[in-house]
Structure 1
C-alpha cells in the first residue's frame, strides 16, 4: 500500500530536476514563450533572417467592374386601387358583377332606383322656365321708367325757366315802383309769381326723384329676376347631379376584387358598391435604408425575383423624399409590365436596383479575416514575399464568393493560411489564378 506514494515522490523529484537543471536543453532561447504564443494566438514568429517562410495559398486577383446593385425586400402593389361607394341613398336595381370580372372604364358597377328624383328634376326645370320668363317682363319696364325720368327732368327745366322770368319781372316792378312808375299791386303780383315758380321747381324735382326711384326699382327687379334664374338653374343642376349619382361606374379599366352590391340592397351614402384594382402595370414596392438611398435614382433599371422564382424587370418611377418615422427607410416604387396579370397584389419579392459600377475583387469567403482592432480585411503578399493586412469593403455576397472593394487593381490575396501569419512574416506562396478551382 505504501508503494504508490513512494513512486509518486520519485516522479515529482525527477520532474523538478528536469525543469531546474535541463531547462535550456528542452526550451531553446530563440523559441517563443507561452505568453508570446498566447498573445498572438498562433504559432507564428517575427520575421527574422533565416526564418523558415510560412506556406500559404495565394490567389492572383485582378480588379473588375461589378454592378454594385442595391438589394432589398419588397412586395407587389396594384398601381391603382379604388373602393366605389354610394354618394346617395337608394335601392340597387342592377345585376351584381362577380369578383374577378374584367371591367372597362365607364362600366356600370351599381345602379340605384331613381324614385321621385325625375319628378324633382321636372319641377326644378319648370321653376327655371318661370324665372326666365320674368326677366323679359322686368326688362320691358325699363324704357317706360327711363321716359318718366326724362319727362321729370324736362319739368324741372321748365320750372326753372318760369322762375327766372318771374324774378326778372319782380326786379323790374320793384325798380319802377321805387321811381313811381309802377303800383304796389304790380310788385306784389310779380313776387307771387316768383314764389309760384319756386314751388313748381320743388314739385318738379320731387317728381324727378320719384321717377329715378322707379327706374332703380325696375333695375332691382331685373336683378331679382336674374337671380331667380340662377337659383332655378342651380336647383336643376343639383337634381341632375343627384340622378347622375344613381349610377356608379368604374373610373378606370381593371379587375373586380369584390362582388358588386347585390340587387335589392339598400345603399346609404358611403356604403360599399365594389372594389376595382388595376394590375397592368404593377408596382414593386420596397424600402431603402438611408445608407443606400443615395445610390438609387428614378429611372434606374431593376430586377425582381418572386418567391416562386419568376424574374421580372422594370424601372424605378418613384423615390420618397421623406423617411418612414419608424424604420427610417425610404419608399421606392418600381413599375413592372404585367400584361397577362401573372403578378398579383401582395406578392413578396427580392428586388435588385442597378447602381453605378465599382472596381472590386472576387475572393472566396474564407479569405476574410480580422485585425487586432476587429477591422474586416484580407492578408496580401507583398513584393518582398511578406504578409500584409489590407482593410476591405464588402460589396456583395454571391455563391461564387465575395466582391470586395479597397484592394489595388492587382492583388495577391492569401486565401489559405492567412490566420497563421501577421504583418511582416515571410511566406512561401503557392499561387493560383482566378480561373482555377479554389484549394480546399
Structure 2
C-alpha cells in the first residue's frame, strides 16, 4: 500500500488535507460546545421560567353594575288626627283609588254640633264688632272696647276653623292616586290621634335605590340611561334621577335612585334588581379573573413581563366581570401577561418568559 502511495504522491497530499480539515472542525465544535455549556448556566442561573400571553387593549363600554332595591315611587302611611270609632271602610285593600277619594271614615260624634255652634258664635261676634265700629265713628264706644270685640271675633273664627278641620278629619282621603295597600284597623275599632290606619302606594312609576362606591360616583350624572335587570330575567329601562350630595357616614357610599316607568302597574316594589349604568367607552383588556392578584396595599392588579424580562405589577380597575372573564383598565396598550408561574415571581424579578401554547 505504501509503495502504491509512494508511486502516487498526490494521494498523500489529499489525505493529509482531509486529516487537517477534520482536526480543525473537531476543535471548533468543541469550543462551541464549551462556550454553550459555559454561557447557559450564567443566563439561567437562579431565573424562573414563566409563560406569557400577549394581550392588546380593545374598546368596550364601561359600566357600573350595582345591586339595588325596587321601591314604590311614593308610599304614605295615613294616621288618625282625631279620636273616634272606625265607622266605614270605604274601599277594600288592593283597590286602585284616585286622589281625593275617601278610603276610611271615622265617627263624627259631636263635631257637627261644634261646627254649628262655631258658625253661630262667629255670626254673633261679627254683628257685635260691626255695631261697635259704627258707634266708634260717633265716639260712643271706646277704641279699647272695639279692639276687644274684634279680638273675640277673630277667636271665634279660629275656633270655627278648628271645628271644621276636626270634622274633616273624620274622613281619611287619598292624598294622591295609587293603590290602597294595607289597613291596620277594622270596622268598629276605636282609634287615637297618631294611630296608623292604612298605607297608600303609588306604583305608576317605580324607583330603584342603590349604593355606589365613593370612587365611582364621579362617573355618574343625572339623566343617564340605566338598564334594570330583575331576578326573573326581565329588563326595564330607566334613568338616573337622584344622586346623594353626601356619602353615608357608615359605608362611605352614595345613595342613588333610578326612575322607571311602570304604565302596566306591575307589582315589583320590594323586589331586588341589578342596575347596569353605562359610563362611556374605554380601552380595556379582557382576561381571566384568576390572573388577578393583590399587592401589599390590597389593590387588584396583574403581573406582566417588560422588555427587560422583569416582572411588573400594575394595579388595575375592574370594569366588569361575567362568566366569560373580566374587563380591566390601567395596563399598557399591549402587554405580555404572565399566565403561568405568576405565583412564584415578585415585581422586579428577572425571569425567562416563553409564549404560552396557543398564543400568537
Alpha-carbon distance change, 126 to 375 in structure 1, aligned in 2, over 3 angstroms: closer
State yes or no: 1:333 paired with 2:223.
no
Given candidates 126, 130, 146, the residue that maps to 2:124 is: 130
Cα distance in 2 for residues equivalent to 1:32 and 1:219: 119
Given candidates 306, 314, 335, the residue that maps to 2:238 is: 314
Cα distance in 1 for residues equivalent to 2:108 and 2:300: 77
SS at match of 2:87: coil
State yes or no: 1:263 paired with 2:187.
yes
Cα distance in 2 for residues equivalent to 1:328 and 1:109: 42
State yes or no: 1:71 paired with 2:65.
yes
State yes or no: 1:279 paired with 2:273.
no
Q: TM-score, normalised by structure 1?
A: 0.63
Map 1:160-199 → 2, pairs under 5 A: none
Map 1:297-376 → 2, pairs under 5 A: 297-365=221-289, 376=301
- Residue 249 of structure 1 and its aligned partner are, at CA, apart by 0.5
- Are the aligned partners of 1:60 and 1:431 in contact in 2 as well (CA < 8 Å)? no
Alpha-carbon distance change, 269 to 429 in structure 1, aligned in 2, over 3 angstroms: closer
Alpha-carbon distance change, 140 to 293 in structure 1, aligned in 2, over 3 angstroms: closer
- Residue 364 of structure 1 and its aligned partner are, at CA, apart by 4.1
The alignment yields a C-alpha RMSD, in angstroms, of 3.5
Spell out, residue by residue over 1:199-222, the C-alpha distance to the aligned partner (whole angstroms, 9 max, x if none): xxxxxxxxxxxxxxxx6x532222
SS at match of 2:116: helix
Given candidates 239, 248, 272, the residue that maps to 2:172 is: 248
SS at match of 2:182: coil
- Are the aligned partners of 1:307 and 1:348 in contact in 2 as well (CA < 8 Å)? yes
State yes or no: 1:289 paired with 2:213.
yes
Given candidates 128, 144, 147, the residue that maps to 1:223 is: 147
Map 1:194-209 → 2, pairs under 5 A: none
- Residue 418 of structure 1 and its aligned partner are, at CA, apart by 6.5
- Report what 2:34 is aligned to: none
Cα distance in 2 for residues equivalent to 1:370 and 1:232: 77
Cα distance in 2 for residues equivalent to 1:119 and 1:296: 59
- Residue 58 of structure 1 and its aligned partner are, at CA, apart by 3.9
- Residue 30 of structure 1 and its aligned partner are, at CA, apart by 5.6
Spell out, residue by residue over 1:361-416, the C-alpha distance to the aligned partner (whole angstroms, 9 max, x if none): 2234466578999983243575x9x676462513322333332323344x254575
Cα distance in 2 for residues equivalent to 1:257 and 1:396: 39
Cα distance in 1 for residues equivalent to 2:54 and 2:156: 90
- Report what 1:184 is aligned to: none
- Residue 244 of structure 1 and its aligned partner are, at CA, apart by 0.7
Larger-Rg structure: 1
Cα distance in 2 for residues equivalent to 1:397 and 1:364: 9
Alpha-carbon distance change, 417 to 327 in structure 1, aligned in 2, over 3 angstroms: closer
Cα distance in 2 for residues equivalent to 1:304 and 1:228: 62
- Report what 1:377 is aligned to: 302
Cα distance in 2 for residues equivalent to 1:303 and 1:125: 59
- Are the aligned partners of 1:85 and 1:271 in contact in 2 as well (CA < 8 Å)? yes
User: Where in structure 1 are there 5+ consecutive unaligned residues?
Assistant: 1-27, 45-53, 146-214, 434-440
Cα distance in 2 for residues equivalent to 1:136 and 1:256: 49
- Residue 313 of structure 1 and its aligned partner are, at CA, apart by 2.0
SS at match of 1:286: strand
- Are the aligned partners of 1:387 and 1:427 in contact in 2 as well (CA < 8 Å)? no
SS at match of 1:94: strand
User: Where in structure 2 are there 5+ consecutive unaligned residues?
Assistant: 1-36
Alpha-carbon distance change, 375 to 104 in structure 1, aligned in 2, over 3 angstroms: closer
Q: TM-score, normalised by structure 2?
A: 0.75
Given candidates 106, 126, 132, the residue that maps to 2:100 is: 106
SS at match of 1:242: helix
SS at match of 1:391: strand
- Residue 228 of structure 1 and its aligned partner are, at CA, apart by 2.2
- Residue 247 of structure 1 and its aligned partner are, at CA, apart by 0.8
- Are the aligned partners of 1:313 and 1:336 in contact in 2 as well (CA < 8 Å)? yes
- Are the aligned partners of 1:317 and 1:334 in contact in 2 as well (CA < 8 Å)? yes
- Report what 2:80 is aligned to: 86
Cα distance in 1 for residues equivalent to 2:259 and 2:64: 16
State yes or no: 1:391 paired with 2:314.
yes
- Residue 60 of structure 1 and its aligned partner are, at CA, apart by 5.5
Alpha-carbon distance change, 218 to 98 in structure 1, aligned in 2, over 3 angstroms: same
- Are the aligned partners of 2:303 and 2:312 in contact in 1 as well (CA < 8 Å)? yes
Alpha-carbon distance change, 141 to 357 in structure 1, aligned in 2, over 3 angstroms: same
